[in-house]
Every structure is written in C-alpha cells, then in structure tokens.
Amino acid sequence: MSATPPTASQIATAQTNVHMACLRLVHDRLVVGSAGNISEQLTPGWFVVSPGGVLYEDLQPTDYPLVDVSTGTHTGPLPPTSELALHLGIYRHMPTVAAVVHTHSKYAAAFAVARIDLPFVCNENIGPGSEKILVTEYGAPGTSLLGSNAVATFARQPGSRAILLANHGVVALGDTVTKAYTTAAQVEWIAEVTHHAANLRPDLSPVVVLPPDQQDLIGHNYGFAVAREGASSDQEEH
C-alpha cells in the first residue's frame, strides 16, 4: 500500500532541489548533455526524480515527476529517467536514504571501466566503515539488474555513501540532495587525484593507500565514526 502522498508544497520544494542540482551536474561537468539523474525522497514512500532524455536547461521544476516507491508509478508531464529502477531499488532496500545522485564524471568512470575499487588517498570520507569506493558487477543501463547490483554493492560495505557502476559512472547517497551531490563530486576528486598520483609514481601499485588505522584517525579527527568488521549493518548514515 502506498504511503500518504506528499503535499503540493513538499513536491514543489523537492522539484526545485532536484532541478537545481541537475543544473549543477552540467555546470560542474559531472555529466554531458542529459546524462546522469538525481532524486529526492521528500516523504517516506515518495520521491521526485529527473526526467529522461531532456536537457536540464530546458526543464522547469514542475517537469520533474513524482514516483511512488511501492508501485513505481509516476505522475507529472514527463516520464522519469531511464534509470528509474536504480532509484527504486535504493529507496526500497535502503529506506534511510533521502537522496540519490548519479553522475558520469570522467575520472570516476575511468576507474569504473577499469573495474578498480577507488581507494582513499587523502582525507576523504565516503561514509563510516568505508575503506574503498567499490565497483559493482556489470548491469546494462536502464535495467533492474543495474539497480540490484548497486544495492548489493552498498550492502557489501554498510555505511558507504558511494559506489562505482561498472563501465558506467557514480552513485552517491545522502540525507539531502546537497550532501549526496557533494559526495558525488568528492568521488570525482578522489578519482582524479588517484589517477594523477599513479602517473607520478607508476612504480606504486596503484598508489599509496591510507591504511585502515590512518583512516580511523582521520575519522576521529573529523568527528565521524568509523565502524569496521563486525559493526552493525544499520544504514542510518546513508
């Protein structure tokens, strides 16, 4: 049974949030054209998501469809992104997630194509307990397999807020669109720095990666908890 529908005001706010973030995707070169997609779960059981196949600059906030998590049905003038199954899968299996940002940013996509889990090399944080940004098994774009692979990969590292879709791009989570967007941008930063560092020191394989105890110290100093093996699998940090 569907949750109580959100109010018109709640829908309008979410549509504006998602639209503004989509405009940033292009401006920040995290996607090209109409690629990528963003959603926000405005009340439990309902999310607003970007439409598919239309340049973001040509959209108005009211063009962004509202989707019922339980049924997958949508309302609005335009159909949802072709990656609707990705967003549905995350909201159905990770109920504490409030926002999803999917990008095709270049350096991160290169790691996704090379199928290399992205290590942490400086002072990044992609969620408590995260030691790497994991690459999923391959699922074709627009399929439910892509969504289920994403959910399975997040489950391998509870607490993580980002993964790489094999041969595709980035998925970042947050409790707001802004936080999920920042994480997606941070993933790209990590990928670019890691790439350049590996080129500077090709003798390293692939680069100097911070060991878990150093990552714990960074987590302590920055005030975020770090949970490792044996930690609870709750996903409140998503």
| 131 assigned to active site | no
Strand 74-75 with 66-68, pairing: antiparallel
Rounded least distance, CB 218 to Zn ion, Å: 30
Rounded least distance, CB 19 to Zn ion, Å: 18
Distance CA 144, CA 123 (A): 34
> Which residue number, 146 or 227, has a Cβ lying nearer to Zn ion?
146
Which stretch, 16-24, 169-177, 183-191, 212-220, contacts Zn ion (CB under 5 A)? 169-177
Rounded least distance, CB 35 to Zn ion, Å: 6
Rounded least distance, CB 187 to Zn ion, Å: 14
Which stretch, 50-58, 63-71, 105-113, 163-171, contacts Zn ion (CB under 5 A)? 163-171
Helix, strand, or coil here: 47?
strand
24 Cβ neighbours under 8 A, 6+ residues apart: 30, 181
Which stretch, 145-153, 165-173, 218-226, 227-235, contacts Zn ion (CB under 5 A)? 165-173
> By beta-carbon distance, which residue lies closest to Zn ion?
169
| Tokens found for residue 20 | 């503004």
The sheet carrying 169-174 orders its strands as 74-75, 66-68, 46-49, 37-43, 99-103, 169-174, 162-165
In the shown chain, the binding pattern of residues 98 to 117 toward Zn ion, with x for contact by CB under 5 A and - for none, equals --------------------
> Which residue number, 177 or 226, has a Cβ lying nearer to Zn ion?
177
Q: Are 218 and 77 in contact (CB under 8 A)?
A: no
> Which residue number, 118 or 150, has a Cβ lying nearer to Zn ion?
150
Of 40, 57, 83, 188, the active-site residue reads: 83
Q: If you search the block for the tokens 């994991």, which residue do you land on?
A: 134
> Which residue number, 17 or 37, has a Cβ lying nearer to Zn ion?
37
Q: What is the DSSP string of 97-111?
A: --EEEEE--HHHHHH
Which stretch, 72-80, 162-170, 194-202, 217-225, contacts Zn ion (CB under 5 A)? 162-170
Rounded least distance, CB 172 to Zn ion, Å: 13
| Tokens found for residue 168 | 């595709």
> Which residue number, 127 or 169, has a Cβ lying nearer to Zn ion?
169
Q: What is the DSSP string of 188-221?
A: HHHHHHHHHHHHH-TTSSS-----HHHHHHHHHH
List of residues contacting Zn ion (CB under 5 A):
169
Residues identified as active-site: 83
